[in-house]
Amino acid sequence: MDRIPILKLGQALLVTIQVDMHDQLATALEEDLAARVVSSGARGVLIDISGLEIVDSFIGRMLDNIAAVSRLLDADTVVVGMRPAVAITLVELGLSLAGVRTALNVERGMALLSLSMADWGVGDDEDGD
Amino acid sequence: MSDSGTRSIADFLAAHEEELRDSWLESMKRSGALESGRVREAELQTQCTAFLRELRSGLQTGGTDIGNFSGVTELLSDLSRSRAIQGFSPRETALFVFSLKQPLLDAVGGQAALSADGALRPVWMLLDELGLYTFEVFQKSREEVIVRQQEEISELSTPVIKLWKGILALPLIGTLDSQRTQVVMENLLEAIVDQGASIAIIDITGVPTVDTLTAQHLLKTVAAARLMGADCIISGIRPQIAQTMVHLGVELSVVSKATLADALALALSRLGRAVVRVSQPAAGAGS
């Protein structure tokens, strides 16, 4: 069965979703992530959904669940790179993902995680001037 | 009604085309078709000639079903569409076809053979039908104009402005209905991606009333922007509107500032910036 790779970057886990999610894939990702957070002792989870073009309520719920599970395991979740159409769809579905932090791209997401993790040295001035 | 009847009318039209056209023009002039100055006589004459020619060729095929007169209906729809855009009144537009009836009746009345066998009756009904058709196209064209204008207005009234690197402003003007919210939301989210903005200021100085529905639309926009990783600040809530919102129990659980300037100051400070005075203003400039 296909699985979405989970990369470890320092104290954070990076998940990049490049394919259209189906429900089974989403459930598998939820389980894998929970296991990896525990086994790697990660303090942050970064989910890049810039490749995701289609969402439904199930995927929205999945993002919420991942955030809730990670919080229980003492890791912050940041969702980055959401497309405008996806954002509108989620809002129309009534899923505003209140428990999830968001950022425009991976770089800013890392910067956001570093705010809550003092020993994490990524993310300086974001607009570089 | 017989095909031969309509054909004989067609023959009659062929024989008396110019005569009929002139009396038709005359009757239109009497009804004031040229008074508005929107159409010249020569132009009207060309239209009349073309109409009579198409009508005749339609009649020659026999039958007076409007489906046989595609040439005529095409001509009429062009005519009434252009008239709708030029701003003709409905009366002027409908008059084009209806003013043919009297001259036609007069001309045919002189011909005992034609008026006797009732050949004119179906043609009469056909002309009524064509008149209605003209009016329908006219109305449709006017509606198209209105729809286009509505779209343009909604485009015009939802600009997204870059105030600073990473700070966008969205000055809303006019009522926020769900359709406009959609446009506003799309524009804002596209701009956030394009410019990599992290703060968006929604200024509602130009929104006349905020009821529960408008507030819901605003909150939706804020939620969508947040999902993209941008924070929203709402500014420009007028005192009366603030009172109304409190009375209605509308709650905007978003940072809000009284003016756009305050919101910009907050946005800048969140980005670690501030506006400072670099020197004393020149004497007398500040008073």
- Say yes or no: ipTM exceeds 0.90: no
Question: Of B221, B205, B66, which is closest to residue B129 (Cα–Cα)?
Answer: B66
Considering chain B, tell me which residue range(s) the CATH 1.10.490 domain(s) occupy: 3-152
Right CATH for B161-270 from 2.60.120.10, 3.30.750.24, 2.60.40.1110, 1.10.1240.10? 3.30.750.24
Band (A82; pLDDT cuts 50, 70, 90): very high
Burial A79-93 (b: 16+ CB within 10 A, else e): bbbbbbebbbbbbee
Q: Do B198 and A102 touch (CB under 8 A)?
A: no
So what's the pLDDT on residue A29? 92
Of the segments A48-62, B3-17, B53-67, which one has the largest average pLDDT value?
Answer: A48-62
Q: At B95, which helix (H) or strand (E)?
A: helix B90-98
The structural domains of chain A, with segments of one domain joined by +, span 6-115
Dihedral, CA of residue B270, residue B271, residue B275 and residue B278, to nearest 10: 140
pLDDT in tens, B190-249: 999 999 999 999 999 988 888 888 888 888 999 999 999 999 999 998 888 888 888 888
Count of positions (residues) in chain A: 129
Chain B partners within 8 Å of A109 (Cβ):
229
pLDDT in tens, B106-158: 887 777 666 666 777 788 888 888 889 888 999 999 899 899 988 888 777 77
Minimum Cα–Cα distance from A99: chain B residue = B227
CA angle B105, B21, B71 (to 5 degrees): 95
Range list of H helices, chain A: 23-40, 57-72, 84-92, 106-116
The pLDDT of B256-268, averaged and rounded, is 93
Considering chain B, tell me which residue range(s) the CATH 3.30.750.24 domain(s) occupy: 161-270
Phi and psi torsions of B234, nearest 5°: -100, 135
Chain B partners within 8 Å of A125 (Cβ):
272
| Structural tokens at position B125 | 């009904």
- Which residues in chain A (57-86) have CB-CB distances under 8 A to chain B? 79-80, 82-84, 86
Q: Do A87 and B166 touch (CB under 8 A)?
A: no
DSSP B233-271: EEE---HHHHHHHHHHT----S-EESSHHHHHHHHHHHT
B189/chain A closest Cα distance in angstroms: 5
Instruction: Please state the pTM of the whole predicted model.
Output: 0.63
* Fold topology of B3-152: Globin-like (1.10.490)
Band (B266; pLDDT cuts 50, 70, 90): very high
Q: At B142, which helix (H) or strand (E)?
A: helix B120-156
pLDDT in tens, B61-75: 867 777 778 888 888
Minimum Cα–Cα distance from B229: chain A residue = A103
Burial B126-160 (b: 16+ CB within 10 A, else e): bbebbbebbbebbeebbeeeeeeeeeeebeeebeb
Question: Helices B120-156 and B90-98 sit at what angle, rounded to 10 degrees?
Answer: 160
What's the rounded Cα separation, in Å, for the pair B94 and B130? 9
CA angle A5, A8, A14 (to 5 degrees): 60
Q: Domain spanning A6-115: which CATH class is it, in words?
A: alpha beta
